[in-house]
């Protein structure tokens, strides 16, 4: 459902409800929330920060075994995620602690993924790739939480590889005006790491379920079969190599834009 049809009030029950994808009643999500004590936080902002930092640092950047419309409980079980699957998990956790949230959808230029994708997968990828982020209602404002996509270990490896870059950077799943000082740390305000790679806006939705029902996913047909059965494992090996210091990464092309 697009933004003009979103509930007028951020306190609408529709922005707090579970869905097939936002399955925060699943056993592993309930156990996590209980163990971390997120529901007992005295302020919503403190709970949102804890959830955001968990998704950013403890769910490593990587590629999941299925399409973007996999439920949050499976993302949590796999322990890795990218922009779309991390947004789903973040939304499920936010709703589990009573924080209203919505999905904002876009496409991004695929050259943002150069280096993070293996060369063949990059060649096979469409020119524009579906990209989503979660927005949380904190106080009287909507806060964009896109900066959780890359864990610190991965991001720091890219920063170290391109320490000389003082210009906008596009590649290795990064699209930012300042690679060394990206807007990813929790401040209570918006966070971003791929915003500068956006191609088109696709609107806002009450849940990822509604978005993917309308737009489909990045995986379909033979490409989807190849991804689920082969490519995602090779992609995660590539990401692990990058996180480990580019020791085995073949593509070191300059991604720093003048």
* Domains by residue range for the chain, with CATH: 17-243 (3.10.620.30)
Q: What angle is formed at CA 28 by the lines to CA 26 and CA 33, rounded to 5 degrees?
A: 95
Question: Which ranges of the chain have pLDDT less than 50?
Answer: 1-5, 7-8, 247-254, 258
pLDDT at 10: 55
Which segments of 60-215 are extended strands (E)?
60-61, 80-81, 101-109, 128-138, 141-145, 169-171, 174-176, 198-205
CB 96 within 8 A of CB 40: no
Cα→Cα distances 135→109, 140, 188, Å = 21, 13, 12
Residue 1 in 3-state DSSP? coil
CB 81 within 8 A of CB 54: no
Instruction: Tell me how far apart the alpha carbons of residues 85 and 60 are, in angstroms, rounded to a whole number.
Output: 11
Partners of 201 in beta bridges: 106
Instruction: Tell me how far apart the alpha carbons of residues 90 and 177 are, in angstroms, rounded to a whole number.
Output: 25
CB 167 within 8 A of CB 255: no
- 198-205 and 80-81 beta bridge pairing: unpaired
Per the document, the length of the chain is 258
Is 0.95 surpassed by the pTM of this model? no
Residue 39 in 3-state DSSP? helix
Chain position carrying tokens 């509930």: 7
pLDDT at 217: 74
């Amino acid at each position: 459902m697009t933004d003009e049809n979103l509930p007028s009030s951020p306190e609408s029950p529709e922005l707090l409800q579970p869905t097939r994808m936002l399955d925060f009643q699943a056993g592993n999500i309930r156990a996590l929330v209980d163990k971390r004590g997120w529901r007992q936080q005295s302020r919503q902002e403190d709970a949102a920060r804890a959830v955001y930092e968990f998704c950013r640092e403890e769910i490593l950047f990587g590629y999941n075994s299925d399409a973007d419309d996999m439920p949050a409980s499976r993302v949590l079980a796999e322990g890795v995620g990218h922009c779309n699957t991390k947004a789903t998990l973040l939304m499920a956790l936010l709703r589990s602690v009573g924080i209203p949230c919505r999905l904002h959808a876009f496409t991004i230029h695929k050259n943002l993924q150069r280096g993070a994708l293996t060369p063949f997968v990059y060649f096979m990828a469409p020119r524009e790739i579906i990209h989503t982020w979660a927005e949380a209602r904190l106080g009287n404002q909507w806060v964009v939480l896109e900066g959780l996509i890359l864990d610190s270990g991965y991001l720091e490896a890219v920063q170290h590889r391109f320490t000389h870059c003082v210009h906008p950077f596009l590649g290795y799943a990064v699209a930012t005006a300042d690679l060394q000082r990206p807007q990813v740390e929790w401040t209570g305000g918006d966070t971003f790491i791929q915003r500068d790679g956006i191609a088109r806006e696709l609107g806002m939705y009450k849940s990822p379920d509604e978005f993917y029902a309308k737009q489909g996913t990045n995986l379909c047909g033979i490409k989807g079969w190849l991804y689920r059965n082969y490519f995602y494992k090779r992609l995660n090996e590539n990401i692990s190599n990058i996180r480990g210091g580019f020791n085995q990464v073949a593509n070191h092309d300059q991604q720093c834009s003048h």
